[in-house]
Chains A and B, each alone.
Chain A
Amino acid sequence: MMEANATAALSPAKRLTPRLAAWAALAVVACGLPFAVTGYHTFQLTMVLVYSIALLGLNMLTGYNGQISLGHGAFYALGAYTAAILMNSLNVPYWATLPASAAVCLVAGFLFGLPALRLEGLYLALATFALGVTMPPLLKYKHFDAITGGSQGIVIIKPDAPFGLPLTGDQWLYFFTLAIAVVLFVLARNLLRGRVGRALVAIRDHPIAAEAMGVNSSIYKSLTFGVSAMYTGIAGALGAIAVQFVAPDSFDIFLSISFLVGSVIGGISSIAGAVFGGVFIVFVPNIASQISKAAPWAIYGVFLIGFMYLMPGGVVAFLRVATAWARRCFRKAG
């Protein structure tokens, strides 16, 4: 009753109410889920959030700015190892490793972005592919053994909920990751929906016109590389804390490919698409191996083709079309 009155009073906001309600519902679901499911599923949901952050980084770079990266697994690994080494060798608390991972990956991404400026399209894809392929042997390199743990990797101790909160370790990590994901998504939205975002898209769609309009293409491109790597690096750190272990075998080239697949499936030029991509990365391989233990990747391939055939613009584009269609039907009926 009160709610209805409030809506009536705020007539300009009336149009926004369904949207607000949707966000509120989403928030309730996101906060309520870990209490409704087992620890194992909470862990999976945490991984969905982690991959979403990583994919958001990739979406910025590849979707908005048009630079293809087949090597984002390397930045994910860099973030993960930064966190693991800080926690293991220097006893840094887990939450303090995130800014460090972010800084390391921002710098690494920016520096990689500089020479990458000279590479366009497929050539850039190959250069980043090389980055992804190089990472695991580099992590095993014997002169880094003392800090990286070589091929044995590093085992991390799982954080417990602080301040005596009545949460399990899994639930706490989920909320910790959720909070960081929300902050990073809001930041990304502000960045991409404004001047910077328009400049990135302009560079992607028409580099010469963008330059003519006064967009400094090289600075934008290398900064995008840096910020994109930073997002993926933060995801790597969060992933390492959730999995409690890093090893070179965790970050092979297939991880980078999975990122690109997740990005495209979710909707590469969108922010929300990253979440759908995260869901795909975590759940589809499991479903595939449940269907066929002998050839799980063949089933995965079928899923991939199916998704691309039914939703060529990714899940987000499909949802947009679907809601528009539903609205039209609703209006006709009304």
Chain B
Amino acid sequence: MSFKKVLTPAAVAIGLVVSAAPAVAAKHYGPGVTDTEIKIGQTMPYSGPASAYGQIGKAEAAYIKMVNEEGGINGRKIVLMSLDDGYSPPKTVEQTRKLVEEDQVLFMFGGLGTPTSTAVHKYLNAKKVPQLFLATGATKWGDPKHFHWTMGWQPSYQQEAKIYAADILKNHPHAKIGVLYQNDDYGKDYLKGLVDGLGAKAKTMIVKEVSYETSEPTVDSQIVQLKGSGADVFVNITTPKFAAQAIRQAYDIGWHPVQYLNNVSNSTGAVLKPAGLEKAKGVISTAYIKDASDKQWDNDADMIKFQAWMKKYMPNDDPANNFNPYGYTVAQTLVHVLKACGDDLTRANVMKQAASIHHLKLPMLLPGITINTSPTDYYPLEQLQLERFDGQNWELYGNIMGK
């Protein structure tokens, strides 16, 4: 019996070494990876108050479906396990733990929302599971020193607000600024960027700040207050529904300031059309992704390709919804990282590759904008371009701003 006891493990060990030796030299696999698949986790608000954003998850899944149909990445199919968290942080914790501990995903990808991502920020970093390309513009995601395993994707809200501040200082140095912002982390992050960007002049230039809750039916009274303050520059930090209301109400009560509209809400189809194209004339915003409802891209080869993809993989969805090109482009960034990993699909290498992207051009990014990261720079997109609405289309102007 004792002979058998000693021999069996020894034989097994030898067998393992012999069979695994050549493989080990070429391939390193983390959890969730085999020769045929790579498991990736995600939480998305498919239900609840933020369910409109769930479209991003659908677009990402549709893009990955296409990649898999074309043979996957180095012969491996991507299995994206996207779970509903209803935008509730406790649920995000539960679902993330399920994905990491039970389903053994290689990493978490594209989680949506600031409070939800904050809830699992520490957990994922303690477990050394990459939390990649979060769909939130909060500034705190680019902190590799304290959170080595977390990385955002889109330009940060503060970065964007600083661009508006610079434009105001340059073109309207004596402006009286009125600000409307959503009373949450997103609105406050923007406001901070604006104040920081204006620097010492912020105190005198900003004459009125008003906020609203997402539960309010309209922002009409806030617009009346802003008009009453005598502001001649209006910084509009609102989500799509409220942005449309604000633009329309300002026009209707005869208030015609210079308007800056945050990128979150600059969709022609979802915001400006409902507000009234004529009423939105002259609004200034920034962009980094091509707007599918904007006619200037009609003959753009990449846009035609995107439209064809939409037709094939998301036939029932509206290409003009900005979440679709967004999801398409984030998914392409993911594919880039996985390709760069080659056969070394460990969590450490995924993070290493995500933190060494140089001048990555993606089809739906504005010409000239690229994705760049390094071990000390965890902000993949940091460039935006100013644009002005001419009543029909957005017209890009000025240089690409940001790093």
Contacts and interface: CB of A to CB of B under 8 A. Distances in A.
Interface of A: 38-41, 43-44, 47, 133, 137, 140, 142, 150-153, 155, 157, 239, 243-245, 247-250, 252, 254, 285-286, 289, 293-294, 296-297
A interface majority secondary structure = helix
Contacts of B185: 150-152
B126 to A, nearest CB: 9
Contact of A247 (B89, B94, B98, B100): B89
A142 B182 CA distance: 12
Contacts of B82: 293
Given A247-B118, A250-B88, A137 B215 contact: yes
Nearest to A50: B90
Contacts of A247: 89, 115, 118-119
Interface in B103-123: 114-116, 118-119, 121-123
A255 to B, nearest CB: 8
Interface string B43-65: 00011110000000000000000
A254 B49 CA distance: 10
Given A243-B89, A250-B90, A252-B88, 8 more contacts: A38-B102, A40-B94, A43-B97, A151-B184, A244-B123, A250-B88, A250-B89, A293-B82
Contacts of B86: 254, 285
A47 B94 contact: yes
22 contacts: A40-B101, A43-B97, A47-B90, A133-B215, A137-B215, A142-B183, A151-B115, A151-B188, A152-B115, A155-B122, A243-B93, A244-B123, A245-B89, A245-B93, A245-B119, A249-B88, A252-B88, A254-B48, A289-B84, A293-B46, A293-B82, A296-B47
Nearest to B44: A293
A283 to B, nearest CB: 10
A293 B183 CA distance: 30
A47 B102 CA distance: 17
Interface of B: 46-49, 82-84, 86-91, 93-94, 97-98, 100-102, 114-116, 118-119, 121-123, 183-185, 188, 213, 215
A137 B183 CA distance: 9
A152 B114 contact: yes
B interface majority secondary structure = helix
Contacts of A243: 89-90, 93, 119
B105 to A, nearest CB: 12
Contacts of B114: 151-152
Contacts of B90: 47, 239, 243, 245, 250
A256 to B, nearest CB: 13
B88 A153 contact: no
A40 B87 CA distance: 20
B320 to A, nearest CB: 21
Contacts of A248: 115
Contact of B101 (A38, A249, A285, A296): A38
A190 to B, nearest CB: 31
A47 B47 CA distance: 21
Given A137-B213, A152-B185, A244-B123, A297 B101 contact: no
A243 B115 CA distance: 13
A224 B86 CA distance: 33
Contacts of B100: 40
Contacts of A289: 46-47, 83-84
Nearest to A289: B84
A52 B122 CA distance: 27
B148 to A, nearest CB: 17
Q: Which 5 A-B pairs have the closest CB atoms?
A: A151-B184, A40-B101, A245-B119, A247-B115, A40-B97
B118 A152 contact: yes
Contacts of B97: 39-40, 43
A252 B184 CA distance: 14
Contacts of A296: 46-47, 84
Contacts of B94: 40, 43-44, 47, 286
A150 to B, nearest CB: 7
Nearest to B85: A289
B235 to A, nearest CB: 18
A133 B214 CA distance: 12
A284 B320 CA distance: 35
Contacts of B49: 252
B104 to A, nearest CB: 10
A133 B89 CA distance: 18
A247 B88 CA distance: 9
B398 to A, nearest CB: 32
A249 B98 contact: no
Contacts of A252: 49, 88
A152 B121 CA distance: 12
Contacts of B88: 249-250, 252, 254
Contacts of A150: 185, 188
Contacts of B93: 43, 243-245
A249 B87 contact: yes
A150 B115 CA distance: 11
B87 A151 contact: no
Given A239-B90, A243-B90, A296-B84, A40 B98 contact: yes
Nearest to A240: B90
A190 B48 CA distance: 39
A151 B122 CA distance: 18
Contact of B89 (A38, A140, A153, A294): A153
Contact of B115 (A38, A44, A249, A293): A249
A296 B95 CA distance: 15
A285 B98 CA distance: 14
B314 to A, nearest CB: 13
